Amino acid sequence: MLNQLIPPEIKGDEFYFTLNAIARDPRLRTFLEIGSSSGEGSTEALVTGIRTRPDRDSVRLFCMEVSRERFTRLCATYAADEFVTPCNLTSVGTRHFPSPAEVTHFYNNVPTQLNNFPLSTVLQWLQQDIDYVRAAELDEDGIEVIKQEHQIACFDFVLIDGSEFTGEREFYATAGARVIACDDINAFKCFTAYHMLRGNPLYRLVAENRRLRNGFAVFERVVV
């Protein structure tokens, strides 16, 4: 699947317009989108929002996409938008991916859409993601690479919507961001991140729809 272009999931729906509104917020300058695909969904929502800002020259949107095919299309689509920085990186290295035992435990104990597929298929998807990252020689902690190269201690905004299997680790790598948006909160991807944020007194829930696809939520850090 990572060798193929795929239709956008976040497109013209409540989450799309929520992201578009967030992108217009002048308090937010550094944006990180994990899982940009070819740029026709959530990326479009963020970019079109930032384009309306008079301060867009001071905004940076880092778009992470590990698939070479999707990354190529992403670059072509937003070549004219100087605030967009496409990054052909994996968010976290494969050493941080969950083990088959961890995924199996989740599958057997937390009913989600994953249970519509045989466990063997789900574990095959996990291995395919790992194999792709290693074969592409992209096996490094991409979020940390971006932070170091651009001297960013903490992003203003993060969208966690990458691999089905890395959302929890991506949350750990970006915790502290002013705004954190999670897609697929009713799936392995962001199930843990969502519940950790719900229980964190430093964040408040500002948007949520658990019924839209696999659910989404947006949290904002409480300023004290």
Q: For 18-34, write each residue's pLDDT tens digit.
A: 999 999 999 999 999 99
Q: What is the pTM of this model?
A: 0.94
Range 184-197 average pLDDT: 95
The CB-side HSE value for 220 (13 A sphere, CA atoms) comes to 11
Asked whether the predicted pLDDT for residue 165 surpasses 70, the reply is yes
Residue keyed to tokens 């990572």: 2
Which tens digits make up the pLDDT trace of 54-68? 999 999 999 999 999
Which tens digits make up the pLDDT trace of 31-45? 999 999 988 999 999
- Taking each helix axis from N to C end, the angle separating 42-51 and 14-23, rounded to the nearest 10 degrees, works out to 30
CB atoms within 10 A of CB 207: 17
**What's the pLDDT score for residue 5?**
67
**What's the pLDDT score for residue 223?**
75
> Are the CB atoms for 23 and 181 separated by under 8 Å?
no
**What's the pLDDT score for residue 224?**
56
CB atoms within 10 A of CB 209: 15
Which tens digits make up the pLDDT trace of 1-11? 666 766 778 99
Range 110-137 average pLDDT: 94
Closest by CA position to 189, among listed 165, 173, 208, 169: 165
The CATH code belonging to domain 14-221 is 3.40.50.150
Range 159-183 average pLDDT: 95
Residue ranges covered by each domain of the chain? 14-221
**What's the pLDDT score for residue 2?**
60
